[in-house]
A and B are shown apart, each in its own frame.
Chain A
């Protein structure tokens, strides 16, 4: 459905009198198969939205090529637009217009007859739990309702490929969970291919078959969430010792089965009475370790085994945790995703980034 090669987008950024060229997207290759749900993950300013805007014909790539739904995004942009649905961060329905009117007008701009757009819109309102809100203005809707209305607009012309740009940013947990259901339905009930950007790890984890991670405008990984986690770090084994005297010998024993021992790095982290290390397939390794510790007369206060999270994946791939990346890129790359996004108070989402 999507094939992109070497996509580049540069912006002029001005600081005082100094002009610099920022490469917001720096050589992105992407392939998305029909029927796939792909999560496009990265910190703010990593180039997610810019990539999305190139794929949806809103932004002309500085370099590189992309075909979306079989059409070239530059030469056949009109056909691309006909085939895709796009739900931007900012939404798309005007807050002081009636929801139903906005949906019908949107459908008509796709060439639908007014009656067809209305019938389709009302059907979608029902499917997305918006019954009875046809004449309501978006400004009088809840955040979750507004997002669902945006999705209705994106689906009005029955696209086979749907782009969702940070669909749940700014929603409360309940509304998020509800929206996830509806996003999952896009494929389950409609067979649509879905490409969604997010900076929430759990969202990418929960919704997508495959996760593509972007950082500083480059793709750093692309695989299933399971594989990404398995490849990267192993499970975190955290031992709490009863006696501080045993810390060193426990560390040696844990170190011998630790993942990083193979590459020669220092595998074990010691903090007070805690000893931690990453261990491949900890479920199998831990019984042996426990026996080993028992023989040595070392007693444990507690043991915890954590499956790796996508945050760990991101940390290993980029050397920063997603949360840190969020903080640092917010300042120095705020201008990257083009002025559009940073100026929009509605989606700056500062409140959600903590």
Chain B
């Protein structure tokens, strides 16, 4: 009970600050929308190859995962500002649970992600996407799990590096291979064999595949199992990492 209350206090504080300065929220929302309108049409000529009836049925799941990963990756930046002003230290000196200090912030990130996902799915429908309702619910949930993992990792990274200058290049370095090997923009099956084999090692590709097969209503077995398992594992590891940085003696 105390834990939930503490999470709520931290969350409410974060939400209040976000609403006061919504620039990042708006930028975060605009990005996937621009992808939908400016990149989506490029997929139209290859709808056949993608094995779907409408390019957005393929593309919206990819955008969801991208939103979950990249939107959340930047969540940690605001934490560095707070740390620098002594907020984290002030919170750590209260008896509040260290996990609550992290989870309260994650809830903010997840709610933001949820709203963005709804906008994306809504726009997808408007643009002609077809998809199974069950699959879409599953896809959004999986996105939230991955988003939670990335947000927790981002917060942990922020408290470890304590510097935007160190954190930005690290995120960029991680982002490129993730974007290119996850099949977010184009399916990896279009590539040569070796590239496909490499992407088998990319957890986020399985997640993307899982969301996609859910949207299409197929619920293919392998992607469902591997995608869900990877998302759950990543979430567990990140949450542990994030909590331990809040707990750590010299964080």
Given contact pairs A56-B93, A106-B90, A111-B2, A346 touches B17 in the complex (Cβ within 8 A): no
Chain A hits for B162, CB < 8 A: 339-340, 343
Q: Considering the complex, which residues of chain B in the window 153-190 have a beta carbon less than 8 Å from any beta carbon of chain A? A: 162-163
Pick out which of these stretches binds chain A: B78-86, B107-115, B191-199.
Answer: B78-86
A interface, how many residues as a size bin? 35 or more
11 A-B interface contacts by CB (under 8 A)? A11-B250, A58-B92, A60-B249, A92-B86, A92-B87, A92-B90, A93-B85, A94-B81, A95-B85, A105-B13, A110-B94
Is A108 engaged at the interface, CB distance under 8 Å to the other chain? Answer: yes
Q: A58-B249, A101-B13, A110-B94 are in contact. List 20 more A-B contacts (CB 8 A).
A: A11-B250, A58-B89, A58-B92, A59-B250, A81-B95, A88-B89, A90-B85, A92-B85, A92-B86, A92-B90, A93-B87, A94-B81, A94-B82, A95-B85, A96-B17, A96-B20, A97-B13, A111-B2, A111-B95, A340-B250
Measured CB to CB, the nearest residue on chain A to B84 is: A344
Is B21 engaged at the interface, CB distance under 8 Å to the other chain? Answer: yes
Shortest C-beta distance, B59 to chain A (Å), equals 37
Measured CB to CB, the nearest residue on chain B to A344 is: B84
Measured CB to CB, the nearest residue on chain A to B250 is: A338
Given contact pairs A90-B89, A94-B17, A101-B13, A109 touches B6 in the complex (Cβ within 8 A): yes
Shortest C-beta distance, B187 to chain A (Å), equals 43
Q: Considering the complex, which residues of chain A in the window 212-228 have a beta carbon less than 8 Å from any beta carbon of chain B? A: none
- The number of residue pairs between A and B whose CB atoms lie closer than 8 Å in the complex comes to 87
Looking at the complex, which one of B16, B82, B90 makes contact with A88 (CB distance below 8 Å)? B90
Measured CB to CB, the nearest residue on chain A to B16 is: A101
Q: How far is A339 from B162 in the complex, measured between Cα atoms in Å? A: 9
Chain B: residues with Cβ within 8 Å of the partner, total of 29
Cβ of A106 and Cβ of B94 under 8 Å apart?
A: yes
Cβ of A82 and Cβ of B85 under 8 Å apart?
A: no
Measured CB to CB, the nearest residue on chain B to A105 is: B13
The 0/1 profile, CB within 8 Å of B marked 1, for residues 67-93 of chain A is 000000000001001101010111111
Given contact pairs A94-B82, A97-B13, A97-B17, A109 touches B89 in the complex (Cβ within 8 A): no
Query: At the interface, is chain B mostly helix, strand, loop or mixed?
Result: helix
Given contact pairs A96-B20, A97-B16, A105-B13, A346 touches B85 in the complex (Cβ within 8 A): yes
Looking at the complex, which one of A86, A105, A340 makes contact with B9 (CB distance below 8 Å)? A105
Query: At the interface, is chain A mostly helix, strand, loop or mixed?
Result: mixed
Measured CB to CB, the residues of B under 8 A from A are 2, 5-6, 9-10, 12-13, 16-17, 20-21, 81-82, 84-87, 89-96, 162-163, 249-250
The 0/1 profile, CB within 8 Å of B marked 1, for residues 43-64 of chain A is 0000000000000111110000
Q: How far is A89 from B85 in the complex, measured between Cα atoms in Å? A: 9
Chain A hits for B90, CB < 8 A: 86, 88, 91-93, 106, 153
Q: How far is A303 from B53 in the complex, measured between Cα atoms in Å? A: 102
Measured CB to CB, the nearest residue on chain A to B90 is: A92
Q: Which of B10, B87, B90, B93 has the most CB of A within 10 A?
A: B93
Given contact pairs A82-B95, A344-B84, A59 touches B89 in the complex (Cβ within 8 A): no
Cβ of B249 and Cβ of A109 under 8 Å apart?
A: no
Q: How far is A78 from B81 in the complex, measured between Cα atoms in Å? A: 26
The 0/1 profile, CB within 8 Å of B marked 1, for residues 7-23 of chain A is 00001000000000000
Chain B hits for A343, CB < 8 A: 162-163
Q: Which of A81, A94, A339 has the most CB of B within 10 A?
A: A94
Chain B hits for A60, CB < 8 A: 249
Q: How far is A26 from B139 in the complex, measured between Cα atoms in Å? A: 55
Q: How far is A150 from B17 in the complex, measured between Cα atoms in Å? A: 19
Q: Which of B5, B21, B90, B96 has the most CB of A within 10 A?
A: B90
Shortest C-beta distance, A354 to chain B (Å), equals 24
Shortest C-beta distance, B130 to chain A (Å), equals 44
Q: How far is A91 from B87 in the complex, measured between Cα atoms in Å? A: 7
Chain A hits for B84, CB < 8 A: 90, 344-346
Given contact pairs A90-B84, A92-B87, A108-B9, A57 touches B16 in the complex (Cβ within 8 A): no
Q: How far is A346 from B82 in the complex, measured between Cα atoms in Å? A: 12
Given contact pairs A60-B249, A90-B86, A339-B162, A109 touches B17 in the complex (Cβ within 8 A): no
Shortest C-beta distance, B12 to chain A (Å), equals 8
Q: How far is A345 from B85 in the complex, measured between Cα atoms in Å? A: 10
Q: How far is A283 from B9 in the complex, measured between Cα atoms in Å? A: 62
Measured CB to CB, the nearest residue on chain A to B13 is: A105
Q: How far is A233 from B94 in the complex, measured between Cα atoms in Å? A: 44
Cβ of B163 and Cβ of A109 under 8 Å apart?
A: no
Q: How far is A91 from B81 in the complex, measured between Cα atoms in Å? A: 13
Chain A hits for B85, CB < 8 A: 90-95, 346
The 0/1 profile, CB within 8 Å of B marked 1, for residues 315-354 of chain A is 0000000000000000000000011100111100000000
